[in-house]
């Protein structure tokens, strides 16, 4: 008699309710820890600097990081599938260089924006196709994409190109008033709109469920009949599109194009996503957590700016420390859930 035939319903125990709750809690725990860290840092800042508690200081975290928020949205989709995209910072710089060059030549702003979006989305689509159909690691393909995009920036120009076109300068200077003296930039509304769309797609569409399923177990997702190949390709196209949007927002912010712009921004985006609670192995994470991760990085920069005596390199040191801590926390929560 097979050993399996001796198993009865009593021996095939289902997970206990307590264990199921533990797994559910572990899923949300990294994101909740990020929210708690942000609130604690904001409270400490308010205690050290009275003006830190100003509502505009909080809103400035969004204004100064609109491009990084959009970049983190695209990176969240990629990491949820268990992939990585190292090209996003270079695509941001390429988008800025193309925008600045064409605007300087008299192109219409609308046409420039459409072309930049096509370039970013097309480059992401190309990398997704190579990753899927040639079965090459995303790290290698997107590293090649990073060198390609950055090299194209140098081909366009080695010098900074100013942007003086009316629409771009208008977007850079525009302020949307809120209550009292508070305001936000149009880029903030665009970034939050993209976050809302990403949240809906991830949690209320088949595409979003497939993204989570691929990150959880790609082989099982294929056996379930889910469109794994097309979803993985579209995820990288989406990341490239978000990078192009981030480049346009960065152009609004800086009113220039520079071939050395956004260096290391891909690492900031990855750090924000991981600090926001998304597992590097994929399958678990939330786009709202990534937004909070960006705010955590922003508040670190704000601390250093308020102090006035610390080098800006301390931002990287603190971010590196936070990233290490949150990776260790992810491992701890994963073991508890198991």
47: CATH: 1.10.3470
For 194-226, write each residue's pLDDT tens digit: 999 999 999 999 999 999 999 999 999 999 999
Specify the pTM.
0.90
Q: Of 18-27, 64-73, 164-173, 263-272, which range is least confident?
A: 18-27
- pLDDT surpasses 50 at 1: no
Q: Supply the range of the domain harboring residue 92.
A: 30-333
The residue that leads in pLDDT, 308 or 56, is 56
Say if 253 falls within a structural domain: yes
Say if 19 falls within a structural domain: no
**Nearest one of 3, 34, 51, 100 to 285, comparing CA atoms:** 34
Number of domains composing the chain = 1
> Can you name the residues that pair with 280 across neighbouring β-strands?
none
For 121-164, write each residue's pLDDT tens digit: 999 999 999 999 999 999 999 999 999 999 999 999 999 999 99
- What values do phi and psi take at 256, rounded to 5? -165, 165
pLDDT confidence of residue 9: 40
For 229-270, write each residue's pLDDT tens digit: 999 999 999 999 999 999 999 999 999 999 999 999 999 999
Residue 334: which pLDDT band, with cuts at 50, 70 and 90? low
pLDDT confidence of residue 212: 96
**Nearest one of 288, 66, 298 to 189, comparing CA atoms:** 66
Say if 97 falls within a structural domain: yes
Q: What is the Cα–Cα distance from 318 to 324, expressed in whole angstroms?
A: 10
Say if 4 falls within a structural domain: no
């Amino acid at each position: 008699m097979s050993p399996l035939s001796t198993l009865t319903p009593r021996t095939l125990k289902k997970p206990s309710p307590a264990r199921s709750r533990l797994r559910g809690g572990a899923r949300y725990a990294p994101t909740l820890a990020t929210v708690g860290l942000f609130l604690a840092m904001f409270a400490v800042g308010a205690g050290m600097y009275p003006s830190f508690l100003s509502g505009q200081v909080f809103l400035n975290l969004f204004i100064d990081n609109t491009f990084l928020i959009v970049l983190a949205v695209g990176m969240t989709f990629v990491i949820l599938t268990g992939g990585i995209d190292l090209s996003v910072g270079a695509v941001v710089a390429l988008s800025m260089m193309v925008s600045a060059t064409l605007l300087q030549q008299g192109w219409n702003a609308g046409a420039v924006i459409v072309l930049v979006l096509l370039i970013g989305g097309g480059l992401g689509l190309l990398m997704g196709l190579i990753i899927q159909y040639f079965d090459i690691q995303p790290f290698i393909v997107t590293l090649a994409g990073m060198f390609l995009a950055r090299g194209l920036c140098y081909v366009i120009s080695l010098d900074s190109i100013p942007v003086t076109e009316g629409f771009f300068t208008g977007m850079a200077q525009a302020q949307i008033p809120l209550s009292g003296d508070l305001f936000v930039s149009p880029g903030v509304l665009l970034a939050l709109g993209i976050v809302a769309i990403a949240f809906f797609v991830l949690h209320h569409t088949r595409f979003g469920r497939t993204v989570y399923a691929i990150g959880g177990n790609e082989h099982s997702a294929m056996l379930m009949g889910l469109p794994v190949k097309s979803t993985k390709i579209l995820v990288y196209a989406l990341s490239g599109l978000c990078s192009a949007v981030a480049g346009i927002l960065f152009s609004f912010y800086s009113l220039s194009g520079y071939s050395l712009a956004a260096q290391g921004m891909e690492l900031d985006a990855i750090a924000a996503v991981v600090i926001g609670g998304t597992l590097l192995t994929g399958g678990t994470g939330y786009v709202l957590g990534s937004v909070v991760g960006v705010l955590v990085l922003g508040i670190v920069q704000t601390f250093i700016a308020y102090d006035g005596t610390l080098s800006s390199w301390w931002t990287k040191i603190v971010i590196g420390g936070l990233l290490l801590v949150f990776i260790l926390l992810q491992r701890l929560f994963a073991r508890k859930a198991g």
